[in-house]
Amino acid sequence: MKRLETIDTIRGLTMISMILFHFCWDLKYIDGFKMDWYVSDGAYIWQQSICWTFILISGFCLHFAKKPLRNGLLVFGCGFLVTVVTMLVIPEALVMFGVLTCIGSCMIIMTLLRGIFDKMAKPLWEFLTTVVLFAVTKSINYGYLNFGFYVLKLPRFLYTQGGPDGMSHSELTYLGFMQDGFFSTDYFSLMPWLFLFMAGYFLHGLLENTFAHKAFHVKLPFLSWFGRHSLIVYMLHQPVLYFISMLVFYMK
């Protein structure tokens, strides 16, 4: 099947947006620039637009992977590497259960379960169900489920087993029950984000019959390149930004 260049373009645009967002983080928290807008609702929407798009597309593109389990293990391994490096080099900016760990986990889980879902072959209902589950669990890190008409507060003990530093029973934090005292500069738990990843996976089935349309073949070389090489760009961008930020810090 012909490559869907539009997906590469959208992912590339998202990568550029992410790089700019992370550079702003470095300017504020490393260089000490006064940037009150960075903690505003607008900045939160910017950040969410990046992770929603990236995770949704990751689920969508699982269909195109020749070796999805290997790819999932690779992405998960890159997430583990980010954790180790930040723990050793910049512990004040520790990344624990970051976006790569989450996406790698989602890829592994969906690779193992895709046979079941593909036999069901009901992409519309599967897509709608996972969208609803994502919406309901979006606030699970903070102790409740949101049904729109009703907010269900989850048992407090699910969030208080982590000890003073929030790291004991970290498997609960990994699942979505963020322990008191837990800290990470990039935290994406399995819930709710697995459901968004699954929604992207099922979205492929909804749109598959329209892939020949020119809307799926918009190629902008610069953005498409970033989209095709998103993992290596992700792994390299923050060390480069950190180096630039340190130069800015010492030149102030």
Are 162 and 180 in contact by the 8 Å Cβ rule? The answer is yes
Instruction: Give the predicted TM-score (pTM) of the model.
Output: 0.94
Say whether pLDDT at 173 is over 90: yes
Query: Nearest-5° angle of CA 75, CA 107, CA 236?
Result: 20
Taking every pair of Cα atoms in the chain, the longest distance, rounded to a whole number of angstroms, is: 60
Say whether pLDDT at 243 is over 80: yes
pLDDT at 90: 86
**Per-residue pLDDT reduced to its tens digit, 56-76:** 999 999 999 999 999 999 999
Q: Given pLDDT bands bounded at 50, 70 and 90, which one contains residue 237? A: very high
Query: Nearest-5° angle of CA 111, CA 192, CA 161?
Result: 110
pLDDT at 250: 79
Cα(179)–Cα(83) distance, rounded to whole angstroms? 18
Tell me what the mean pLDDT of segment 155-172 comes to. 89
Say whether pLDDT at 193 is over 90: yes
pLDDT at 71: 97
Q: Given pLDDT bands bounded at 50, 70 and 90, which one contains residue 1? A: low
pLDDT at 130: 97
